[in-house]
Amino acid sequence: MPTSLLRRPTLLHAVAVAVTCSWSVAHAQATATPPRAAPPLAAAPSGLRVAGLQAPVSLTRDSAGIVHIDAKNEHDLFFAQGYSSARDRLFQLELWRRQATGTMAEALGPRWVARDRAARLLRYRGSMTTELVQYHPRGAAIIQAFVDGVNAYVDQVKRDTSLMPPDLKALGITPGKWTPAIVVSRHNALASNAKDEPNHARAVRAIGEAAVRRRKRFEPENARLAIDSAVAQLVGAANDAQLFADYDGSRSTPSFRLEEVASSWRRTGAALAPRDSDMERWESNNWVIAGSRTASGKPIVANDPHRTIAIPSLRYMVHLKAPGWDVIGGGEPAIPGVAIGHNQHGAWGLTIFGVDAEDLYVYELGASNPREYRYGGSFERMRIVTDTIRVRGAAPEIVKLAFTRHGPVLYTDSTRRQAVALRAAWLEPGSAPYLASLRLNQARNWSEARTALSYARMPALNWIWADTSGAIGWQTAAIAPIRPNWDGLVPVPGDGRFEWKGYLPILQMPHEASPTRGYVGTANAFNVPSSYGHFDALARTWADPYRRDRLLEVLDTTRKATVASSGALQHDEMSLPARALVPLLANITFSTPAASAAHDTVLRWNRFMSVDARGAALYAMWERRLSSITADVVVPRVARAAIRTVPLARTVEWLTRPDSLLGTRPAATRDSILRVAFEDAVADVTRRFGADMSTWRYGDPKFHYSRISHVLDALVHDSVRARLSPGPLPRGGYANTLHSTGNTDNQMHGASLRVVIDLANWDAARVTNTPGQSGDPRSPFYANLFPLWARGSFVPLPYSPAAIKARTAEVVLLSPQQ
C-alpha cells in the first residue's frame, strides 16, 4: 500500500504541532493552572479567495486543533463554520450527506438500496420554512450560509483533488453538494424507546404485567404494560429484524465490504467491516456549582456528554465570533452553532433526560386492499410516495414508501393483515437534534436561556446554565408527547383509541433556578420530584442511579470548587455498586488457593476502578458474571428472549436483599450466585493474564482499553490501520462510574468531549475531544488529543484574543472572490 496515500499535501500551510499544554487530573488537586510550555510558532497567515463571502474572515487554529473564526457579519461567520467543518471532516460530512439523502447506492451499488429506501422513509417531510425558524429567528439564513460554506470547500476539493481525504478516495466517493435539508436530518438523533416496545410486549405475553414490572425497573413504578390481543399476535409472529429493518437501516453506521475499497488499500482475507454494537449509550454527566461553593466566587459548569467513541469524533470544537456572536465550545460538525460551551455572558451543558418521543402503532389492514387500515369505524387509505434511487452500476430502482396518519410504515404482514407504523415526535417541525442551541448561543441570562430552550425539542435533555451574575439553573427540554391512557412502553393499536394529546409546553417541564443547596447535577437517572404534575409526558425507563448518586455525594460536600476539582470529578472512578456488593463476599469461602487469594484482593481493594487496580479487574468481571447469572435465575426461561438484561440496580437489590425471586432459600441461592460468579471471574482474568496475580491490571489491552476503529479498519492493510485507528490505550472506570467507560473490553462509548468552565475566567476553561479535531488521517490534528484524553488530561480552551494568540498554530485568511 503506497504510503503516499496517507501523506498530507501542503494544505493551507498546516503546521504539525504537538499539544504543548495539557493538564492531567492526576495533578488536579495540586494546581488549577496547567504547566505552561512555550507556544508553538505559528506559520505565516495564508490566504484564499472564496466565492460566497461578503468580507474577509480569519480562521485561527490553536495548538490543540480548535478553530477560532472571526468574521465581520453573521452570514460570513456561519459560512466559515461550514467551510471549516468540511475542511476538517469532509469524509464524515459526506457519509452524513449520503445517509441523510438516501444516496449511498448511487456511490457504492445495489446492496445499499434498502438502506437508501429506509433513509427516505424516515426523513423529515414537513415545511422547511416552519422548520428553520424554530432554530433561530434567522435560522434559514444561518443554515443556508453554513451549507454554502460546506459547498465552497467541496468545490475547492473538486478543483484540487490532492485535498480529497484518502478514505473517500479509497471508497471512490466524490463529495456532493449540501442543502439545508441535510443539516436538519434526523438520522443521527438520539430517539427513544421504539425498539424496546415489542420486547416489553413479548415479556408481558410470556409472564404477565406484574412479573415484568418486578424484573424490569420503571420510574415511577406504576407503569402500565397491558397489551391488546392484536399487539400480542404481532409480537409473537414478527421478530425485531423484521420490525426494525427500516428503522435501523436509516440510522446505523455504514459497514463497508472489501470490494468497495480501492485494491491498494485492501487487507487480504477481509470481507465485511464489522461494526460495534449499534446500541447507543446515553450516559452523560453535567453539573453547575454556585459561586458560594467555588474558590473563585463565580459558578463552575462541567459537562461530559457520552456517545459512541468514533473516529472522526462525533464532536467538533469551534469558536464563533462576529457582531452579536462570541461563543465557543463543542457541537457536531454537520450542524451550525455550539451545543455545549459558553458565550461572554453564560455557560451551559447537557445530558439526556427521560422523554419517550416514539410509539409503535399496529393496524388491521383491509381484506381487499392492504393499503387501507382501520381507524375508528372505517378504513383509511395509506399515503404512498414513489421515489427513485439511483444505483451505481445498475438501473435506477423505483421504491414506494407508505405512511399512515401516525407516520411511516415500518412493517407489513399481508398474511395476518397487519402493519406497523412509527409515530415519532422527532418528525415534527423544529426537531432536528441540537440546532436550537443557536438561540442559546446568544442568551445573556437565565430568563433568556429558558426562552431559548423553549425551542429545544430534540433530543430530550437536562440543560444546565450559569451566568456572570451568579445565577445557576436547570431546565429540561424536549418535544414530549402527552399520553392520557397509556405509558408508551408497548405497541398499541392504531385504530384511534391511543392518541397523543399534544405536547407538553417545554417551560412546564421540570426545572429549577438557583437552588439554595448551591448546585445542580444530572446523570441520566430519574431526577423528577414526586410532586411533579406531568408524568404522563415523561419516560418510565432511566439510567441506573449510581453515577447520579456518586455525583451528588461529592457535590454535597464540595467547598472551594475549582476547574481542576471538577475535571477530577469527571474522571472519578468510585464504583457505588462495588460498595454494595463486595462486602457480600466476606462470608463466602473458596476451595482453591487462587480463588481465596483473589477473594482477599477484592476485599482489600478500595472500590475505585483505576487502571492499575488488580481488584478492579476482578470486580469488573465478577459484576458481569453476577448480572448474567442473576438474570438467569430471576427471569423465567420463557421470557429470556424478551428480557435479555436486567438493570444492575435490580441485581444489587436482589443480592443485598434476597427475596422469593431467588427461590425458596433466597439467601443460600444468593451465596451460590456470588461464589459461582466469582470463580468464573477468577478463571476469566487468569486466562487473560496468567496465574501470576502481580501481572493483573484492569486498564490493559488484555482487559479494559480504548482502540478507536475507523469504519474501514477491518478492510485495510496493517500499516494503514495503524494510522487510521489509534490505540489501544489503557482505560479506567466502567459503565457505573462518573468516568463512564462501558462494560466491554474495548471502550466503545463514553465522553469524547469534556469541558469545565469557571465563569470568573473564561480563559481558564479546559476541554478535550478525542481523538482529534480533524478527520483526515494525514493531519497532525487527527489523533493528537487521544493520548491526553486516555490519561485524563485536558487542553486549554482559549477565548480572549490574547489567549488565542498565545496558542496560535496557523492562521488562514478567507477573502471574497473578486
Angle at which helix 666-689 crosses helix 593-604, to 10 degrees, equals 100
> Element (H or E) spanning 448, and its range?
helix 446-453
> Element (H or E) spanning 418, and its range?
strand 418-424
Distance CA 210, CA 356 (A): 22
DSSP states along 592-603: SHHHHHHHHHHH
DSSP states along 468-491: TTS-EEEEEE---B--SS--SSS-
> Element (H or E) spanning 99, and its range?
helix 74-101
Q: What is the CA radius of gyration of the chain?
A: 27
Phi, psi (deg, nearest 5) at residue 327: -130, 140
* Closest residue by Cα to residue 461 from 358, 541, 349: 349
Distance of CA 513 to the CA centre of its chain: 27
- Supply the pLDDT for residue 270: 56
The DSSP bridge partners found for residue 409 are 421
Cβ neighbours around 26 below 10 Å, total: 12
Task: State the residue for C-alpha cell 402493519.
Answer: 419
Distance CA 585, CA 619 (A): 11
Task: State the residue for C-alpha cell 468540511.
Answer: 86
Distance of CA 632 to the CA centre of its chain: 30
> What are the pLDDT digits (tens) for 323-333?
999 999 999 99
User: DSSP class of residue 530?
Assistant: T
Distance CA 433, CA 478 (A): 10
> What are the pLDDT digits (tens) for 690-734?
999 999 999 999 999 999 999 999 999 888 999 999 999 999 999
If phi over 0 gives left and psi between -120 and 50 gives alpha, with beta otherwise, what is residue 417?
left
Q: Where are the alpha helices (DSSP H) in 571-613?
A: 576-581, 593-604
If phi over 0 gives left and psi between -120 and 50 gives alpha, with beta otherwise, what is residue 509?
beta
Distance of CA 457 to the CA centre of its chain: 16
Distance CA 327, CA 239 (A): 47
CA dihedral 344, 350, 356, 358 (to 10 degrees): 70
> What are the pLDDT digits (tens) for 9-33?
433 333 333 333 333 333 333 223 3
577: Cβ–Cβ under 8 A, 6 or more apart, which residues? Answer: 546, 623, 648, 652, 736
Mean pLDDT per block of 10 residues along the chain (818 residues) reads 44 34 34 32 70 97 98 98 98 97 97 97 97 98 98 97 95 97 92 91 97 96 92 93 95 91 79 46 87 98 95 97 98 97 98 96 96 96 98 98 98 96 97 97 98 97 98 98 96 98 98 98 96 94 97 98 98 98 96 93 98 98 97 97 94 97 97 97 97 96 96 91 95 97 94 96 97 96 97 97 97 93
- Supply the pLDDT for residue 18: 34
Peptide bond into 312 cis (omega under 30): yes
- Supply the pLDDT for residue 267: 79
Angle at which helix 648-656 crosses helix 666-689, to 10 degrees, equals 120
* Closest residue by Cα to residue 751 from 551, 569, 553, 570: 570
The amino acid at 186: R
Distance of CA 698 to the CA centre of its chain: 25
Phi, psi (deg, nearest 5) at residue 303: -150, 135
Sign of CA dihedral 553, 559, 561, 567: negative
pTM of the predicted structure, to 2 decimals: 0.94
Distance CA 8, CA 389 (A): 35
Q: Where are the alpha helices (DSSP H) in 488-613?
A: 546-556, 563-570, 576-581, 593-604
